Chain A
Amino acid sequence: MRLTEAFTAARAAGRCALVPFVTAGDPSLAATRDIVCALAAAGADVVELGVPFSDPVADGPVIQRSSERALARGTRLADVLELARAIRRRSPVPLLLFGYFNPILRYGLERFAADAAAAGADGALVTDLIPEEAADYRRALAARGLAAVFLAAPTSPDERLAAIAAASTGFIYAVSRTGVTGAREQVPAAARELVARVRRVARQPIALGFGLGTAAQVAEVGAFADGAVVGTALVAALHRAVEQGGEAAAAPAAAAFLRSLQP
């Protein structure tokens, strides 16, 4: 599985995989294509492509606003799948579709899996879908060779972590703290403990996300996790760049941001 390989390759190179998140369609689909290609060229190991949703309960204000901008421009799941195809023509970077369940349910689970696979996506993570509710979804994704990545949370007891490990393919996304997405000053101490607890029950790579946005944090996370997800800080940087320099400023800003995370 390409997602798993991306983490093992980074580990073999002695580093933590970098997993940037961007909202598809903010500021535009064409700009997102260029942003993702720039991220890949600047060293992203996996890219999370956010599918905007009207009611993103797991997201803080920065990604909420970003989703609203993308939706206001008419970005829908079908457009994000087209975008994945356009990215795949230009870059081999592993792509994880990241969003909420209802647009996928409405699109149709089988059709989603078929179209995502045909577009060249590598897997999906649905924030409001837990393994217990995901039997049909997992079956549909597995049938197309797509990874179904699930979240592990600091509140998850060990028996749930084992179930999450049993269900998750590609990698496991550990949430660094209770809360919504958003950049923070510190990596919580509980994050290390969570990754250790997941590690005891999982063979998959473990990426840590929520609140990460600096090179120091990525380095700190690299000491105990296989990957670091950077979302809010990147989305905010891209928005600032677009405000100041228009859409054309987004891709260079993405590349500069990603390089700033590396030693």
Chain B
Amino acid sequence: MSATVAPPPARFGAYGGRYVPETLVAPLDELTAAYQAAQADPAFAAELDELRRTYAGRPTPLFFARRMSEELGGARVYLKREDLLHTGAHKINNCLGQALLARRMGKRRIVAETGAGQHGVATATVCALFGFECVVYMGEEDMARQALNVARMRLLGAEVRGVAAGSRTLKDAINEAMRDWVTNCRTTHYLLGSVLGAHPYPAMVRDFHACIGREAREQILAATGRLPAALIACVGGGSNAMGLFYAFLADQSVRLIGVEAGGRGAELGQHAARFHGGSPGVLQGTFSYILQDAAGQIAATHSISAGLDYPGVGPEHAELHDRGRAEYVAAGDQEALAACQYLARREGIIPALESAHAVAEARRRAPGLPRDASLIVNISGRGDKDMEIIARELPGLASPERACG
């Protein structure tokens, strides 16, 4: 045979690739081809744009947080309001794009994983819109802490399958979704919800979210006449951050700041800060920074926010980290809770606990920047889904005695 092995699939520097069972290579190739064809098809872009405007609610506003900015006494803080999108988070951007691709590929069954439930809700939503069968895998721990989103998915007609394996969180839900996909790949599209997984997912999901940064760049230039000093976004898998960062990658003066979940502390197992305690490795289809033990077993993670509670991170973030284009910091559970309350009281906006990690970093950064500088914080989702946790954790919110009286 003269056959030779093909070169490795597209990467971000050393990161990315395809680390999957052989069975999934053909469906990944099929998806790559469908995506490339869609990118060259003006009708695809037109339909996606129409759905973004009339269904999802794009463009989202860029809101000047006046009280917050005045109080912090430094940079002008702008909030990119992805929380105002239909379904309450940025996740719908990607789901609409992938649903259109699934239809192009003739696949009418969708599987997805979800952590906080935001991606699951967005997936269930587009499946209702397109008439697809929908199965969402969710860790049992996440089902307990995000019960409202479980009910929303079921109301939308999705089947939510609890995952009892491992840590019973997002990572285990992805494992189970991959097992479903490897079994049913001829009829099923895996609607992966972040810039994770095997090629082409990290680049494709980023592209579907890049509208966030394109809009924000235009909006900040219109509002202030110049580029912002920094962008701040929370990073679980990293889709809202990549979506915001991407349009600014060539703007070297703009600092890109990703905020990981610092959880309860720096000990392995107590956080989800892959760039602080993690190291390069392979998890769920891609080579990136992961939290692992000395023998290469994937470590347990913790975050108050289910959407950040994951041991891996998108491979493009790993590349941005290594070449110093983006910096990654951590905010802990308590900082996120405090930031959630802060934004609620100063601006009348209740952010998701994921997004509250970015708000926490903005509170640290803004005071050190000049008053004529600006920074953009991505409010990737709204906090309604987290009200039970917030009410439990913050004093004075839950008042059963008054509720009874």
Contact = CB atoms under 8 A, between A and B. Distances in A.
Asked if A pairs with B, the answer is yes
Interface string B174-186: 0100110011111
B21 interface: yes
B19 A175 contact: no
Contacts of B19: 101, 128-130, 133
A169 B295 CA distance: 27
B5, B27, B182, most chain A CB atoms within 10 A: B5
A166 B185 CA distance: 26
Contacts of A107: 295-296
A164 interface: yes
Contacts of A104: 296
Contact of A178 (B178, B186, B282, B296): B186
Contact of B25 (A54, A127, A160, A167): A160
A44 B149 CA distance: 51
A22 to B, nearest CB: 19
Interface stretch (B6-14, B52-60, B211-219): B6-14
Interface in A115-150: 127-135, 150
Contacts of A179: 23, 179, 182-183
Contacts of A163: 3-6
Given A54-B297, A157-B26, A133 B8 contact: yes
Interface string B284-320: 1100001010111110000000000000000000000
> Which A-B residue pairs are the 3 nearest by beta carbons?
A106-B296, A162-B3, A103-B296
Interface string B216-228: 0000000000000
Given A160-B26, A178-B183, A55 B298 contact: yes
9 contacts: A57-B21, A57-B178, A58-B179, A102-B296, A107-B295, A131-B5, A154-B23, A155-B22, A155-B27
B403 interface: no
Interface in A188-204: 201-202
Interface residues of B, number: 42
B3, B21, B27, B184, most chain A CB atoms within 10 A: B21
Interface residues of A, number: 52
A201 B178 contact: no
Given A55-B298, A128-B21, A102 B8 contact: no
A55 B284 contact: yes
B281 interface: yes
A76 interface: yes
Contacts of B6: 131-132, 163
B18 A101 contact: no
A79 B7 CA distance: 34
Contact of A77 (B9, B183, B186, B295): B295
Nearest to B167: A54
Interface residues of B, dominant DSSP: mixed
Nearest to A106: B296
Given A132-B6, A162-B3, A105 B183 contact: no
Contacts of B294: 106
B296 A133 contact: no
A133 B186 CA distance: 24
Interface in A171-193: 175, 178-180
B91 interface: no
B397 interface: no
B297 A156 contact: no
B165 interface: yes
Given A77-B295, A105-B296, A106-B295, A55 B166 contact: yes
Interface in A72-108: 76-78, 100-107
A132 B18 contact: yes
B270 to A, nearest CB: 17
A201 B3 CA distance: 9
A60 B179 CA distance: 8
A106 B22 contact: no
A55 B300 CA distance: 11
Interface in B246-301: 281-285, 290, 292, 294-298
Contact of A58 (B17, B21, B282, B283): B21
A166 B4 CA distance: 6
B145 interface: no
Given A55-B175, A160-B25, A103 B297 contact: yes
A156 B22 contact: yes
